[in-house]
Amino acid sequence: MNGWNQPPGGSTPSFEEVMEKIKHRLQAFKGRSSLIIAALLLAALFWSAWFTVQPQETGVVQRFGKVVRTAGPGLHFKLPFGIETARMVPTARVLKEEFGFRTVASTPGKKTQYDPSGSYKDESLMLTGDLNVIDVQWIIQYRIEDPIRFLFHVRETPKTIRDITEAVMRRAVGNRIGSEVLTTGRVEVAKEAKTEIQKILSDYKAGVRLVTVELQDVTPPDTVKPAFNEVNESRQDKEQTINKAEERANR
């Protein structure tokens, strides 16, 4: 019983004395644990009551799921313990969607790398108005104008944007002959697609404004490239022959 501060050879403490000492120690431990719990609650309160919005973002604050306000860049207060939650939306950034390819790495000062695999052919292979198949790779860039509409007015807004863009691009390409899309019609296709995509997004109230629609690469499918090149060479030879004949006739 020396652990109970009894001198060697002293009398053995009674059961009541042992219980009294245990009671005192438990009370001391409860006092310390109460302080620890209070400190943890205070830390949780402080941690859950503040949030930071980065310069390129807008914070959308929800109270029990209902949107109550938006917050600009900086440090902001909200009701703690999940009563209010904040979602960040990159309203000041230009967002990009790629079709028919994916950017693997893009580092400043270094050449951009693209995924060379053919796993995105289901996005890029399209049928033209003259029933030719061409491979169209393109990008769209957009900004989020209304973060509340972007988050809540349309379900899965990024996916909806992709689906709309692909449908519109297929229709724009399908309304033209293949040679036009491959050569002189690329700019017109992109312009027409941008106008129609923006109209649909505005009708859906998606809170998005298109910045650009650009055709990156338009080529025949790999399996028919040799035949396509032969046709182009034949057309060029034909045009050269016609030009030479007209030149001789003029002379």
In a domain, 244, yes or no: no
Q: Are residues 14 and 117 in the same domain?
A: no
113 has which bridge partners?
105
Q: Are residues 115 and 157 in the same domain?
A: yes
40-66 per-position pLDDT tens digit: 776 666 777 889 999 999 999 999 999
In a domain, 112, yes or no: yes
Q: How many CA atoms lie within 13 A of 56 on its CB side?
A: 6
Residues ≥6 apart with Cβ < 8 Å to 48: 80, 81, 82
> Over the Cα atoms of the chain, what is R_g?
35
Q: Are residues 123 and 83 in the same domain?
A: no
Q: Are residues 155 and 209 in the same domain?
A: yes
**Band of pLDDT at residue 220, cut at 50, 70 and 90:** confident
Check which CATH number belongs to the domain holding 184 and give it.
3.30.479.30
| 61 touches 67 (CB < 8 A) | yes
188-213 per-position pLDDT tens digit: 999 999 999 999 999 999 999 999 99
In a domain, 57, yes or no: yes
Domain end point (choices 64, 89, 114): 89
Name the average pLDDT for the chain: 85
Provide, rounded to the nearest whole percent, the portion of the chain with pLDDT above 70: 77
pLDDT at residue 10 is higher than 60:
no
Domain count for the chain, please give it.
3
Q: Which domain holds residue 33?
A: 2-46
- Please name which of 90, 83, 176 lies closest in space to residue 129, comparing C-alpha atoms: 176
| 166 touches 197 (CB < 8 A) | no
Torsional class of 21: left (φ above 0), alpha (ψ -120 to 50), beta (otherwise)? alpha
Q: Are residues 124 and 182 in the same domain?
A: yes
DSSP string, 110-124: S--EE---STTHHHH
DSSP string, 154-214: STTHHHHHHHHHHHHHHHHHHTS-HHHHHTTTHHHHHHHHHHHHHHHHHHHT--EEEEEEE
